[in-house]
Amino acid sequence: MTNPIPTPIPNRQSPIPGRRARANRANASLSTGPRTDSGKQRSSLNALRHGLTAASAVLPSEDQAAFDAHRRGFFDEYQPATPTETQLVQELADTSWRLNRIPLLEAELLNRAANPPTEQAAPNDQEMAFDIVDAHRLLANLNIQGQRLSRQFQKTVDTLRDIQADRAERQRRDLKDAAALLELHKHKGIPWEPSDHGFVFSKDDVERFAQRLMRLNESRHIEHVRFYMQPPARSATASL
C-alpha cells in the first residue's frame, strides 16, 4: 500500500518575513507615489526621508510660506550682492531647511516603532512589517544624512564669508583710492567725478568715506596723546 504524501504544514513561526517580501515587491513596483490623501499620509515618512536629498528643498507636504520666511531670514542676514553670493545664500536656506526636518523624522520613526499598527489599523503589509529594527536602520541613515548636510552647510557658510570679506576689502581699497583722488582734485581746484577714473561709487559716497577717514586719523592722534604718550618728566626743582 502506497503511503499518502503528507500535506505540507504551513510555517506559522515567521509571518513577518513573508510580509516583508511582499512589501518590498510592492514598494519596488511603485514609481509615481501615492495619489490619495490617505496614501500620502501613509507614505509621509518615506517622502520626508527621501526629501533630504531631493532636488527641491520644500516637499509637497510642507508649508511653502514657512520656507519663504525661513529663506528671507538668510537673505536679510547676508545681503548677497552678486549672483554667486545669491546662489550660496540659497544653498544655506535649502540645506538648513533639510537639517531642521531631521528631528521631526526621528520623532516619527521612534513613534512608529513604539506604536506599531494593528492588523485592523494597518492598510497594507508594509506598515505591519515595520519594527524597531527598521527604526534603528533608518535612524542611522538619518544620522549620516545629518552629518552630510551639516558639513555642506558649514562649507557653504565659509565660502560665502570668504567671498563677501574679499568683496568688502576690495570695496574699501577702491573707496580709499577714490577718496585720495577726490582730495587731490579739491586741493588743485579741479572738478572730479568718480566715473572719471572708473569707480562705480557716487561722489557723495566718496565724500562720506573721505570725511570718515579724516575723522579716524584725528581720533587716532587724540588716542595716542591721551592713552600712549608718556607724560613729560618732572624736574628736580619742581618736586621741591
Backbone angles phi, psi at 120, to 5 degrees: -75, -35
Say what the pLDDT of residue 60 is.
Answer: 87
All three cell numbers of 23: 512589501
* C-alpha distances in Å from residue 146, one per residue of 70, 82, 102, 153: 19, 29, 7, 10
Mean pLDDT of the chain, nearest integer: 78
On whether the pTM is more than 0.75, the answer is no
Say what the pLDDT of residue 15 is.
Answer: 45
Backbone angles phi, psi at 219, to 5 degrees: -65, -35
Which residue, among 57, 60, 58, 65, has the nearest Cα to 43 in the 3D structure? 60
Helices (H), the chain: 15-29, 37-42, 44-50, 64-78, 83-114, 125-129, 132-188, 203-223
Distance CA 29, CA 70 (A): 36
SS3 184: helix
Count of residues making up the chain: 240
Distance CA 232, CA 229 (A): 9
Q: Which letter does DSSP use for residue 80 in this model?
A: -
Cβ density class 55-85: b for 16+ within 10 Å, e for less:
eebbbeebeeeebeebbeebeeebebeeeeb
Say what the pLDDT of residue 224 is.
Answer: 85
Structural contact between residues 35 and 47, judged by C-beta atoms closer than 8 angstroms: no
As a whole number of Å, the CA-based R_g of the chain is 34
Say what the pLDDT of residue 147 is.
Answer: 95
Distance CA 234, CA 114 (A): 84
Residue reference for cell 544655506: 92
Q: Give the type of residue at 97.
A: W
Reported as a single tens digit per residue, the pLDDT across 23-43 is 454 444 433 444 444 444 444
SS3 19: helix
Per-residue tens of pLDDT for the chain, all 240 residues: 455 555 544 444 444 455 555 545 444 443 344 444 444 444 444 544 446 766 778 888 899 999 999 999 999 999 999 999 999 999 999 999 999 999 988 888 888 877 766 655 545 555 545 567 777 888 888 999 999 999 999 999 999 999 999 999 999 999 999 999 999 999 999 999 999 899 999 999 999 999 999 999 989 888 888 888 887 777 655 555
